[in-house]
Structure 1
Amino acid sequence: MNASPSIAVIGAGPAGLMAAETLAAAGARVTIHDRMASPARKFLLAGRGGLNLTHSEPLDAFIARYRESAPRLAPIIRAFPPAALIAWAEGLGQPVFTGSSGRVFPRAMKASLLLRAWLARLAGLGVTLHPRQSLTGFAAGGAVLLDGQPVAADAVILALGGASWPRLGSDGAWAGLFGDAMRPFVPSNCGFTVAWSAPFRARAAGQPLKRIALSHGGETVRGEAMVTEAGIEGGAVYALSAPMRAAIARDGHATASLDLRPDLTLADCTTRLAAPRRGNSLSNHLRRTLGLSPVAIALVQEASRASAPTQKAHAGVSEPLAGLVKACPLRLDAPFPIARAISSAGGVAWAALDERLMLRDRPGVFCAGEMLDWEAPTGGYLLQACFATGVAAALGALDWVAHAGAGASAPIARRG
């Protein structure tokens, strides 16, 4: 066995770059191959508004954010937790700060500065980057093929990304190569279509809903949302996208509710709305008594029309009207297309991987990042898992190569 193994990383996003750094720091000879002309395109886009690297909440609560995948991701994230990611960023000369929401950002609020320092570190470690090269399949003997040619390496780490934002490189086109090991990609952290009435759409599309709470299936999330011509999207919606998407798949639609004044109780709203209107229109009454924004008022009126005649504006309706303010119903018909989702769910199934993230049917081939079948809300959880699985796959590859001469299968395509 070579004292210095050769390992190829396919995919130059956060997971692939972190795998490459971990490998090179351990003494491996590393090449990175990516189908795009430049690395980390989606990472750069994510950093345009301030790069949310991770989150500061307690680790047990942090891991629970991964829902069904939490048991598999727990040891991976515990081995490379938020504290380790923060130390890594600061080691690249990018100090971080924690916002009021608990989210962690580089002080520079730019992904480009961190990426530039990162690529310089990788170059200093001897890592070489080969752009415009794509995974095209697997040879009969198990070798990984790039543009039809076998990869010359002792092991390969695949970090191919998911299927959201395909113009940035992660189009999921590789999914057909994995057969039964693949779970179909679906949109995650996405908006949903709502069959708005034409008057509401004309009045409210493009308007933000601030300081709201969204509820579905017993879960409630505070945040913001945006009304669009097709439906609704935004942080509060993204946080519940997984269960709402599942409800649509099961029932054909999902029902959520918006609390437009989460800081007030139903009794508070009822009392305020019972005040004399003194000739004010319903819109002005809602604005004066509850401080609702125009788009929130339009939502209440939309829901009121849908439930007519029981919600007609007349004396004695303050309680049902308050009920619409506190639980405005939303029927969600479908997720927005995956191409405009922040991330994707689905990917290579956990059952197809061993504890080192190696494919069970392809010895020496490891997987990392968003190509694995997990999802998480925004807030730093997505990047944290990408970085952590990149580290885990790299350590798994190093372990496999170290033991390949002592009973493991032969390296996949070792070349001199």
Structure 2
Amino acid sequence: MTIAAKTIHIVGAGPAGLMAAERLAQAGAQVTVHERMPSPGRKLLMAGRGGLNLTHSEDQAAFEGRYGGAAAAVSPWLDAFSPDELTAWAEGLGQATFTGSSGRVFPRAMKASPLLRAWLARLDGLGVQLRTRSRWTGWSADGALRFDTPDGERLERPDAVVLALGGASWPKLGADGAWVEPLAAAGVAVVPLRPSNMGVNIDWSEVVRARVAGQPLKGVALTVGDRTVRGEAVVTTYGLEGGAVYTLSAALREAVAAEGSALLTVDLRPDLSVEALAARLQAGRGKDSMASWLRKAGGLSAPAAALLREVPGEMPTGPDKLARRIKALRLTVTGVQGLARAISTAGGVRLDATGPDLMLTARPGVFVAGEMLDWEAPTGGYLLQASLASGVVAAMGVEAWLAAG
């Protein structure tokens, strides 16, 4: 049996939902996409403002390891839609790509808008119907999908459904987590939503807030527990954010939840040993100011030097003690930024509440994709890759389920 005569509704016009729509429309289904916002792909467009990171070029084992405890569940998604396939898909939309020195893959346009325009044009050509300002509110007593629209409530009874409503980060862009209540009422197990890839709170002095906030810490190494990440961070009025912080955000979030705070150790000169750094500092600063001396002898930027003073007590003057502080600056994380400021979301529909095809066990014919599911990953291409791949898996699941019926 083909699905050519079947009607399928996708709820959510983000990457996962649009990918599911594309695959199902290519299979011949009559596809309708609902989006509560006035236009689709708003979070994708926001993500592309700093350069749209499509995926990553690292080997499969390392790639899968980025998904932590959800790696076993996400691995089949990547088999269904690999990083190479994502790159080819983007290029098929006319978006040439390149791989940066970090291994990250970007469109040459470095923006999401050209890709989204081309994608929407493709979907339109496939006959996909897009309904904006159409907000899903759950199911009616007889199982129909309920939508709030500008024309009032609308009930829909498609042959299958893909829910791709996102998490709850940056809710002003469309994903507000309002889907949790109707799914829980339907007997679907949902892990509480939590921020992921978010900044962390540190009680800086007024000097740091006034003089350093907004400045980067480049080429540092951050350590939480037994895990160390090298990269960049940005000092903010509330604490730290940036790629290296986001990579450790899950560990910091869980430590704060369990203990009330977390220890973050910063190595401001990870390319030098303590001994080599102490040797550079051995001559003393002479007539130089402390900041100037740390820049010249220690190779520290102004914001890095300022953070050394955040440790209680006097600044070490001996080269050995100062080198040790530079190599292991201990900062106390007192909290994390909330969902409204987080890049992505942890928690969501439990992975064991679906089958491998991502169909809800409690609701046959309803499939789930994207950030609604309980997985998380650092920035670097891993978020978009898994979201798109889950859309492919959900579409495959819909096809198989309808064909079997």
TM-score (norm 2): 0.95
**1:255 — aligned with what?**
263
Query: Aligned partners of 1:255, 1:18: CA distance in 2, in Å?
Result: 40
SS for the counterpart of 2:116 is: helix
The corresponding residue for 1:177 is 182
Verify the 8 A CA contact 2:14 2:40 in the aligned structure 1: yes
Q: Does structure 1 residue 81 correspond to structure 2 residue 82?
A: yes
- State the Cα distance separating 1:152 from its structure 2 match: 2.5
Which residue of the partner structure matches residue 392 of structure 2? 391
Which residue number in structure 1 is paired with residue 295 of structure 2?
287
**Distance (whole Å) between structure 2 residues aligned to residue 207 and residue 47 of structure 1:** 22
Q: Secondary structure at the match of 1:48?
A: helix
Q: Tell me, what secondary structure is at the counterpart of 2:50?
A: coil
1:73-103 C-alpha deviation (Å, 9 max, x unpaired): 1011111100110111111111110000000
Listed one character per residue, the Cα deviations across residues 297-321 of structure 1 (whole Å, up to 9, x for unaligned) are 1111222xx1x25x543xxx22121
Q: Which residue of 1 aligns with 2:34?
A: 33
Aligned partner of 2:47 in structure 1 is 46
Q: Distance in 2 between matches of 1:57 and 1:43?
A: 23
Question: Which residue is equivalent to 1:201?
Answer: 209
What does 1:15-414 correspond to in 2, within 5 Å? 15-147=16-148, 148-179=153-184, 181-303=189-311, 306=312, 308=313, 311-313=315-317, 317-404=318-405
How much has 1:10 moved relative to structure 2?
A: 0.6
Q: Structure 2: how far apart are the matches of 1:99 and 1:75?
A: 26
1:69 positional shift = 0.6
| Unpaired segments ≥5 residues, structure 2 | none
How much does 1:3 deviate?
A: 4.8
Contact 2:4 2:27 in 1 (8 A): no
Shift of 1:45: 1.1
CA distance in 1: counterparts of 2:284 and 2:86, whole angstroms: 57
Partner of 1:408: none
Count of residue pairs the alignment pairs up: 397
- Matched AA of 1:261: R
Q: Structure 1 regions of 5+ residues with no counterpart?
A: 405-416
Instruction: Find the residue that maps to 2:191 and give its secondary structure.
Output: strand
CA RMSD in angstroms, aligned pairs only: 1.4
Report the 3-state secondary structure (helix = DSSP H, G, I; strand = E; otherwise coil) of the residue aligned with 1:377: coil
Query: What is the CA distance between 1:243 and its match in structure 2?
Result: 0.8
SS in 1 for 2:49: coil
Residue aligned with 2:295, SS: helix
Deviation per CA, 1:195-249: give whole Å up to 9, x if none: 1122232222222111111111211111111111111111110111011111111
Amino acid at match of 1:246: E
What is the percent sequence identity of the aligned residues?
A: 57
The answer to whether the 8 A contact 1:142-1:362 is kept is no
Contact 2:138 2:183 in 1 (8 A): no
Q: Secondary structure at the match of 1:388?
A: helix
Counterpart Cα distance in 1 of 2:334 and 2:55: 32
Alignment check: 8 A CA contact 2:4 2:30 kept:
no
